[in-house]
Each structure stands twice: as C-alpha cells, then as structure tokens.
Amino acid sequence: MAYKKAKSQQFIFPKSPTGIDGLDDITNGGFPKGRPTLICGGAGCGKTLFSMQFLIKGITEYNEPGVFMSFEEPSDDLTLNVKSLGFDIEKLKADKKLIVDHVRVERSEIEEAGEYDLDGLFIRLGHAIDSIKATRVVLDTIESLFGGLDNQAILRAELRRLFHWLKAKGVTAIVTGERGEATLTRQGLEEYVSDCVIVLDHRVIDQVSTRRLRIVKYRGSTHGTNEYPFLIDEEGISVLPITSLKLDNEVSSDVVSTGVPGLNEMFKGGGFYRGSNILVSGTAGTAKTTIASYFANEQCEKNEKTIYFAFEESPQQLIRNMKSIGIDLQKHIKKGTLQIHSSRPSLNGLELHLLTLRKLIKEYVPTTIIIDPISNLITVGSQDEVRSMLVRLIDMLKAHNITALFTSLNKRTDEFRPDLAEESVSSLVDIWITVRDMEGIGERNRGIFIVKARGMGHSNKVREFVITNEGIELLDVELGPKGILTGSERQSHKMKKTLSDLKHQNEISRKDREIERKRKVLEANIEALRNEFESAQEELSVLRATEELYEKLTSKKKKE
C-alpha cells in the first residue's frame, strides 16, 4: 500500500522532502515518494537547476543518493554550471552519493537500431541506481530522448513504459520537459502519466522579469494551486508560498519604545506592542526616515536584530544623514545588530522583493524590520499586485512576530484621500502615524498625530516637532483662540503669555507692597490707641488712689 494509516484514522501520503526553501510548504511535505514528478517549462525557467537542487538537497540533508541522467548537457558542463551556486558535484560523486550520466541520443543511431525502445536506457539507469542504492532520479529532458522518433504510437507507448518502470523501481523521480503550444508538454502524454506536475514560467511584465511556479496536479495529496514566485540566486532556488489566510498568529503584550521620548508619551503604553505593524505616512520632507531611524537605533540599543530596507538612500548616505542629528547607525552595523539593504525597487518584481525579505528573515532572524518607503514598490506593480504583495508581506511578518515599521510617501495634500500604498496597507497595520506639513504665514512646520493604535490608548492631539542637532523634539501643545498654534504663532503666543505672566506678577507684587504698607499703618494706629488707652488707665488709677487717700484722711479727722 502507498498509504500509511495514522492514529487519527487518517491516511498519511508518503512524500520525499525537496529541500527547496518554500516548496515543501506548498506541496505539504514534498514530492510523492516512489513516484514520478513532471517539471515542465520554457527555456531558461530553471528546470535543470530545480532538478539538481532536489538531488543535492536529498543527499546533503536527507542522506538519499541520487542519479542525474542528462540528455542535453554533458557532465562537465553541468558540473561547472551549478558550481556557481555552491553545489560541489564532484565531491558528491567521489563519495558515491551521486551519479551524473550524459546520454547522447542521435537520430541516425535510432534509425540504425531498427525498432525504437528504451531497454538500453533501463539497463543503464538501473545499473546506476543499484550501484549507489539511489532513491532519487532525474531525467533531463524527456524531449531529447524522443527527439528523433516520428512514430507517435511507439513514442506514447515508450513514454508510458518509462514512467511505469520508474514507479516499479520505487525511486522518487523528476522528469523535465519543454512546454508545448496546446499542451503542457510537447508530447502531451507526460502530464497524464505523472503523479505530480509542476509548471515553471519565466515572464517579463513592464520590463521586470519574474519566475513563477504552479502545481497543475498532485495525485493523492492536497497542495497549493496558486502561482508562486521563485528566486534563483547564489544559494539556489527559493519559492515564496502564499502565507496562511487564517488570522491565528500569536500576539505579545510586551511594549517596545519608539525611540522618540515625546512620541512615547502619545501612547498610553509608552510605545508599540511587539509584533505590531506600524505605518508612518506623510508628504516629502516630513521626517519619516528620521522617525524610522530613531526606531531602528532604539531597537539596536536593546540588542534587537534589525533589518533596514532603504529604497531611496544608500547605506552610506543614510548613516551620514542620521549622524547629523546624533544617531550613530554605524556602530550597530559593526556590532551585528543592524543590516541595511539598499536597492532600487525596479531591481526586482514585487514578489522577488518579498522573497528576498523572506530569505533574510530566515537567515538573520531579526526581531525588527523597517521598509523605507513602501510606497516606492508601486512603481513596479499594478494596484492589485501591490495590494496582494502588501497583504502577504504583513501576514508573513505577523507569522514571525516581527515588529515592522513602514514609511509611505503621500503625494497628496488632502489627508482624506490617501495614496495607493496608504489605502492598501492602512487597514492592515496595527498603528498608523501621520506626519504632515502645517503651513502658516510665510513658514512651514511639522506636525505628528496618531490616526489609530489597535488595543492601545493614544493621544488625539497634533504635536508639533522640530529637528535639531540633538534630534527630534516634540513640543508642548499650545492652544490659541483658533486651535493649536505652531511656528511663529507659537512663539508670539509664548511671548504674549510671558509678558502677561510678568505683568501679572508685577501687579501681584504691587498689591503685596500696598498691603504691607496698610498693615504697617494699621499696626501704628493700633499702637497709638494702645498708648492712649494706657494713659487713660493710668489717670483712672491716680484718681482712684487720690480718692482712697482722701477718704482715709476724712475718716481720721472724724475720729479725732
């Protein structure tokens, strides 16, 4: 039986992991084990490299020896071609883990042999498989094997026989084929006898090339049915799966600082929740990059690994500019907590930018990512493509619990009509901060306010901020008769308030002095009245003493 029964009474389909980054996620485990898989596509779409990586990863990661039988490229050319990707075929061959065989098929040889069959190929391939006990086989490409055969009946019979032989041998096989005009392959039969069919495509849209992969069928297993972009770089092939549509990612209650003290005060929690997505939008020159750099600097100071994607400035320029306001990004780069990647958005398509980001996340394992600005990606994709890419990007960051900060350039001055990037991502992000110009009479000032902050209380005020040699400083809110005051109006209001306060203090001082004088007069009057009272009291005492003396003398005389 090709199936094994699990404890949950469900059948588990046996699969061979491909080792290709992202592909196992799409296929739910890899290619069908012990069955043939067809990979077809046009010239230059990566069929040979795809197959070779499947073999090499099987050897290095899963200890499964493999046989690569080529009908087009000689072994030496094939070895040289994949060496630039870090695949050392010669070492694997020396270790008897890999056999690379080149079979040259000529039409003249077929005619001399009479009736065409694949018995010779079966003997040759069977010997190679048995000599190293191979479990993985690649045949590249099938068209070359039947290129000189005109009899369609024999061709179809031998094709069917080849696939049945591979299945009977019990090897996990990849057969590559070229795309046909009306069918997936030129012969139109391989796609029906294969248990798994994958189509590779290399297309150019608006002068931007993108390679895509699609699983046409997969017998006995669920699989992704969309088109998935894949990237060929110095490490081989990486496939970008469309991330989960289920909103079941874990969340954190930890709060990370924004790096700007005044901005922290605008959030009741003192910053952002870890794993949040933050959008900082505004017109040109409103310090979006500066705010992003503050956040990167704050995270690096706490030894949080950070990746900074800059689509407008080179790393050297960004480091120089931020140094002028007291932020030293270079020390974090030397320490290894910060990576700055700069490129033009037109370097790759939208999906390849996303795929590059996914690879860096896997290799560097950052906790913070900054994309500055995300609005530049609009130049390399349509409106629907931008929305799709941003949804997948945010979903991927949420799945890894990465705190992400995006900046977006708003070309419109009407804040109620957001640009495409804002419109696409504003409903997906957790926190939306807007920086804008506040123009007065003959001057331009900057203001910042929080549009939304999910799950966290925040200020509803527009705070003016200035950029000095010491960095960003959020100014206290000054209210006037017509609302919040900024710039010279703020200074004028402060001056008037200072003068008013000074006048008020002077008036209080004058009142204090006047009261002091009145107090002294009152005390003098009280003292005078006291003296007058004491004098009257003394006179009364003298009169009483005189009266008593008189009475004594009168009484004495009467007695006498």
Q: Express each pLDDT in 50-80 by its tens digit.
A: 899 999 999 999 999 999 998 888 888 888 8
What pLDDT was estimated at residue 357? Answer: 81
What pLDDT was estimated at residue 118? Answer: 72
Helix (H, G, I), strand (E, B) or coil at 40: strand
Residues in the chain: 560
Domains of the chain: 12-239 (3.40.50.300), 255-490 (3.40.50.300)
What pLDDT was estimated at residue 115? Answer: 54
Q: Is the pLDDT of residue 6 over 50?
A: no
Alpha carbon 67 to its chain's center? 40
pLDDT bin (cut points 50, 70, 90) of residue 187 is: low
Proportion of the chain above pLDDT 70, given as a percent: 80
What is the arithmetic mean of pLDDT over 306-315? Answer: 90
Q: Express each pLDDT in 503-531 by its tens digit.
A: 888 888 888 888 988 988 998 899 889 88
Could you tell me if 290 and 325 are in contact, meaning their C-beta atoms sit under 8 angstroms apart? yes
Q: Is the pLDDT of residue 110 over 70?
A: no
What is the arithmetic mean of pLDDT over 472-500? Answer: 67
Which stretch, 56-70, 172-186, 420-434, has highest mean pLDDT? 56-70
- Peptide bond before 418: cis, by omega within 30 degrees of 0? no
What pLDDT was estimated at residue 374? Answer: 81
pLDDT bin (cut points 50, 70, 90) of residue 416 is: very low
What pLDDT was estimated at residue 478? Answer: 61
CA distance 253 to 22: 30
H-type alpha helices, 95-196 = 107-113, 119-132, 142-145, 152-169, 190-193
What pLDDT was estimated at residue 208? Answer: 64
CA distance 49 to 337: 34
pLDDT bin (cut points 50, 70, 90) of residue 496 is: confident
CA distance 536 to 210: 117
Q: Is the pLDDT of residue 293 over 90?
A: yes
pTM of the model: 0.65
CA distance 332 to 509: 56
pLDDT bin (cut points 50, 70, 90) of residue 114 is: very low
What pLDDT was estimated at residue 487? Answer: 56
pLDDT: is 323 or 103 the higher one? Answer: 323
CA distance 146 to 161: 13
Could you tell me if 319 and 330 are in contact, meaning their C-beta atoms sit under 8 angstroms apart? yes
Q: Is the pLDDT of residue 537 over 60?
A: yes
Q: Express each pLDDT in 227-256 by its tens digit.
A: 887 878 777 887 876 555 456 677 788 899
What pLDDT was estimated at residue 64? Answer: 93
Q: Is the pLDDT of residue 200 over 80?
A: yes
Q: Is the pLDDT of residue 282 over 80?
A: yes
